[in-house]
């Protein structure tokens, strides 16, 4: 039996960083946003970027959702967490209301409705961060594409973010999102706990 190669011999050991100019363009777009929204996928989990993601989202109060592969990137009790893309209907209503969407480590596949309705609006600006250049712009128009590892890109963003964004900049928007989420959760819970017969 042939000896198996160690993963270090055939897997990349470095995390590619994004083009600094594209990082700054992304921050400029976020700076001028009124209702930004983060959607993250398995790339964040594989990269181990949850700490950078959480810091960025919570520092500036940017609401965040995940794909099924991104579940766990942010805790469900974190103040900016909204939900999962294939989950409750309130997630759809919040996501399509955003004016700037920043996707990190995810594809515009069936779990994200291929970047279209009912989850996303037609006039949103899109920032897409992914290590695979082939998925950027696939199924959905991308205004700013950043080819990079999720952890590396978020590290770059955090290093420059204070030059563009104010702490708690989107607090009012996040409060609006969380209040709507709580209201919808209560409405959707009622039929689930009802003891009426038939159901």
Averaged pLDDT for residues 91-118: 93
Number of neighbouring beta carbons within 10 Å of residue 126: 22
Segments making up each domain of the chain, as ranges: 15-184
Contact 177, 63 (CB under 8 A): yes
Measured distance CA(139)–CA(114) in Å, rounded: 6
Averaged pLDDT for residues 66-72: 93
| pLDDT exceeds 80 at position 145 | yes
Measured distance CA(104)–CA(85) in Å, rounded: 14
What pairs with residue 102 in β-bridges?
38, 127
Averaged pLDDT for residues 153-178: 98
For residue 114, is it left (φ>0), alpha (ψ between -120 and 50) or beta? left
**Mean predicted lDDT score pLDDT of the chain:** 91
Q: Which residue has the tokens 């209201």?
A: 183
| pLDDT exceeds 70 at position 2 | no
What is the share, in percent, of the chain residues with pLDDT greater than 70?
91
Please state whether beta strands 100-104 and 125-130 pair in parallel, antiparallel, or not at all (unpaired): parallel
The reported pLDDT for the residue numbered 86 is: 79
Averaged pLDDT for residues 84-103: 90
The reported pLDDT for the residue numbered 195 is: 64
In CATH, which superfamily holds the domain spanning 15-184? TPP-binding domain (3.40.50.1220)
Q: In this structure, what token pair is assigned to residue 96?
A: 């399509």
The reported pLDDT for the residue numbered 188 is: 67
Axis crossing angle, helix 150-160 with helix 20-31, rounded to the nearest 10: 60
- In this predicted model, which residue has the larger pLDDT, 24 or 119? 24
The reported pLDDT for the residue numbered 5 is: 76
pLDDT band per the 50, 70, 90 thresholds, residue 194: low
Q: Which residue has the tokens 């600094």?
A: 20
Residue 66: helix, strand or coil by DSSP? strand
Contact 72, 45 (CB under 8 A): yes
pLDDT digit string, tens, across residues 27-41? 999 999 999 999 999
């Amino acid at each position: 039996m042939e000896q198996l190669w160690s993963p270090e011999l055939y897997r990349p050991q470095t995390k590619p960083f994004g083009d600094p100019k594209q990082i700054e363009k992304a921050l400029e777009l976020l700076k001028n946003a009124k209702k930004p929204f983060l959607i993250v996928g398995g790339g964040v989990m594989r990269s181990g970027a949850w700490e950078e993601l959480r810091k960025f989202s919570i520092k500036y109060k940017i609401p965040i959702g995940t794909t099924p592969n991104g579940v766990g990137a942010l805790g469900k009790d974190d103040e900016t967490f909204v939900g999962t893309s294939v989950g409750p209907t309130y997630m759809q209503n919040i996501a399509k209301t955003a004016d700037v969407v920043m996707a990190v480590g995810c594809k515009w596949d069936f779990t994200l409705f291929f970047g279209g309705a009912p989850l996303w609006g037609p006039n949103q600006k899109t920032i897409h961060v992914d290590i695979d250049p082939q998925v950027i712009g696939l199924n959905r128009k991308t205004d700013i594409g950043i080819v990079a590892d999720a952890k590396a890109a978020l590290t770059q963003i955090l290093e420059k973010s204070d030059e563009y964004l104010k702490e708690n900049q989107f607090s009012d928007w996040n409060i609006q999102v969380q209040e709507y989420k709580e209201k919808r959760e209560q409405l959707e819970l009622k039929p689930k706990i009802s003891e009426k017969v038939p159901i």
